[in-house]
Amino acid sequence: MSNTSQITIPVLALRGLVIFPDMMIQFDIGRKKSVLALAGAMEKEQLIFLVAQSDLEDGEPTKEQLYQMGVVAKIKQVVRHSEEGVRLFAEGLYRARLDTVLQEEPFLLAEVSEAEIPAYKSTNTTTALVRHTRTLFEDYAKNYAKIAPDILFGVMQQKDCGKLADYIAANIMLDFDRKQMVLDEVHPVKRLRKLISILEEEIKIISIENEIQEKTREQVDENQREYYLREQMKTIAYELGDDDNPQEEADELRDRIAKLKLPEEQNEKLLKECDRLAKMPIGSHEASVILTYLETCLDLPWNERTKENIDLSRAEKVLNADHYGLKKVKERILEALAVKKLAPENNGQIICLVGPPGVGKTSIARSIAKAIGRKYVRVSLGGVRDESDIMGHRRTYIGSMPGRIIAALRQAKVKNPLILLDEVDKLGSSYRGDPSSALLEVLDSEQNSAFYDHYIDMPFDLSEVLFLTTANDYSSIPAPLLDRMDVITLGSYTHEEKYQIASRHLIPKQLKKNGISPKNLKITPNALHTLIDGYTREAGVRTLERQIASVCRKCAKRIVEDPEIKISVTSRMLEDLLGPQRFKKEKLQQKDEIGLVNGLAWTSVGGELLPIEAAVLQGTGKIELTGSLGDVMKESAQTAISCIRARAEKLGISPDFYKKYDIHIHAPEGAVPKDGPSAGTAMATAITSALCEIPIRRDVAMTGEITLLGRVLPIGGLKEKTMAAYRSGIKTVLIPKENMPDLYEVEDVVKEHVEFVPVERIEQVLNAALVKMPSPSLPVSKEEKHPDQASAAVPNALPLADGKPDSTGAAQSGICQ
């Protein structure tokens, strides 16, 4: 063409697509600007300028990002296939060059000029080029199977150099930038030469690919004969009704062993077992034993790990979210995690969580695993009496299996899980061995890197496993095993802790479990306090959770009958729902009593107030001890009496009182067993009060072991005992001076409301507990003071046979420590 014409038409930028003249094309349009450009073209002569963009990732290309050469196309059809996208059917008319962009919004509008195509003369050279191009295209089509026969026919029909180049470039798989190279060339002969160089390069690449495929095919053919034979064996086995082929299974297992990349010893042993399996006859029992062994070994996480992420702030949040209270336990766990982060290779000591049932030992272990990103597996050791449960059975036995440690690793599927060994104090021994001794190797970080399970029969590395153990009583754990563990004690929950746990965790959990919306059921704070004090008496919160669940079930029935009902459970409603209260709240006496002292006791469900009564009766010097007292507590009572007897004159007591009067010491509730030496000071105080007829202050409680010389010795369980004193309204608690460091563990709320008085001697105890200190000047002999009357000044007196009163008292049960 000798002249060029310039027109103004909308521009449609193509992403990864190049259009040639005389080419019918259909493609989807999704960009808003492109759809608007298409609409603008439809309003005029249905002409649009199609041009490729250089950057495929640009969603809004400008003039600088568009190629200069494109095609003016005629729109044949527009089909809308979605709310935002349309499909365009168009035909390329002629090459055109982008001159000026007139606008970019709302769509591209530009002036384009038709490209001037130089004329050329048909010569022998051009004819040769055409023939050479056809030959190259035939070679390309032979190697590239996706060329349609009609395209090959179309190539043979083209004789013009330019049109042949456009036709071939439009119908072969090339990158869009290489197709643009062909489109940019306006001279027909030069365009064909460019296409020839592109085809020659593509043919070389395809030939290399074919060579690679051929080599691969040859390698595969080497295994074909063996493969066909095995397939025939499989078919024969299937026809015979036996699908199991030891040879085939052995080969599959060999592949699995190779992928695991095991250490040399383990790899050699397992391959040897595979060789044995391959030689076994089909259906033999020995083959099934070997197959089970191999599958068990290969299921172990030899090299699988989870990525550990020790973030102390995140761990602290997880522990606080899952558990209320337990401040010292959480601090100790965070310290262990900090050491683990600083020294990842140092596994350190095994942590043993010791505490009463239901205080959250197992859930703490689960929270630790969650906090550091390890998988959690629980292994219950309660009642295990067979060493093989830990170390596994030898394969020579029928029904043999690996031990619980290997089974836990197989369950976890990683070699660095957190394994909780639950109830380690419940291990027993029998003629089958001692399981606790078998655990020595498991829990020793110096030895467990080559743990030897009898079933696996080869070393397995346990050094990356984080072990935690739990126990109710660490004194039941054998000393060598306990030496490998770092004991963390979880005490009984206080009333406040139980309240917070119930309100934050238990009530929402049971509401969800019973399908009740919080809008339909609400348990008031007073009702929750009553539930804790009146319906439960435990160290943990399991019974409390069961009582909450019972309340939810009873309310669920009413909610089903009336879905719109809103129930607010109060303290008064609890008796209708759960019946009368089972436990009475501990409370002080209304006035100071003679012979009645407030002792403090530790029990398996926390601390309790333990009132102790002492009565002095006319008699012959007998000593009565009642209230289901243990041997240690009886000896403590004898010691208290002897201690007071040694100080009789200083206390204004007749030296021969032990001849004329019987002393009766009682610890109510009589059916509850009690033992321990910590009630010694309380007994000595009660006896002194009864002999001197001096009341004991009702707002004072005490604990401590007494000696014959009047020394006060330290005791245990101070945290629980002081909490019991706080709950009962005690203002002053007398404790042994040597127990002062234990006040560090006492709850802050107790320290704020209770005064602690350290004592070393019985005189200090009497001075703080009695309304007034006895003196030798006081009348001490009841017989001298009332010749015809015994214990006349003692309250709550009972009449004797001769019409004269006798003394007695009241108290509550507990177990002294």
Hey, CA dihedral for 163, 166, 169, 172, is it positive or negative? negative
Surface-to-core class of residue 494, CB atoms within 10 Å of its CB (0-12 exposed, 13-18 middle, 19+ buried): buried
How many C-beta neighbours within 10 Å does residue 9 have? Answer: 22
Structure tokens at 787: 């010749």
SS3 call for 214: helix
Catalytic residue, from 330, 721, 782, 791: name it: 721
Asked if 678 is an active-site residue, the reply is yes
Q: How far is Cα of residue 274 from the mean position of the Cα atoms in its chain? A: 38
CA distance 723 to 517: 35
Catalytic (active site) residue 628 = no
As a whole number of angstroms, the distance between CA 358 and CA 538 comes to 9
DSSP three-state, residue 447: coil
In which element (H, E) is residue 304 found?
A: none
Phi, psi of 99 (to 5 degrees): -95, -65
Q: Which residues contact 452 (CB under 8 A, 6 or more apart)?
A: 391, 441, 458, 459, 460
The one catalytic residue among 678, 728, 791, 813: 678
Angle, alpha carbons 744-745-751 (nearest 5°): 70
Tokens (6 digits) for 621: 């010097």
**How far apart, in Å, are the Cα atoms of 18 and each of 13, 112, 174, 549, 642?**
10, 17, 10, 71, 113
Give me the DSSP letters along 772-798: S---TTS---HHHH-TT-SSTTSSS-E
Q: Looking at this protein, which amino acid is placed at residue 422?
A: D
How many angstroms separate the Cα of 804 from the Cα of each of 572, 687, 789? 45, 21, 6
With a CB cutoff of 8 Å and minimum separation 6, the contacts of 389 are 403, 404, 435
Written as six digits, the tokens of 597 are 């002292």
Q: Copy the structure tokens of residue 242.
A: 């036996």
Distance CA 57, CA 65 (A): 11
Q: Which residues, including other chains, have CB under 8 Å from residue 734's CB and lie 6 or more apart? A: 681, 700, 701, 702, 703, 704, 757, 759, 764, 765, 768, 769
Q: Which residues are catalytic?
A: 678, 721
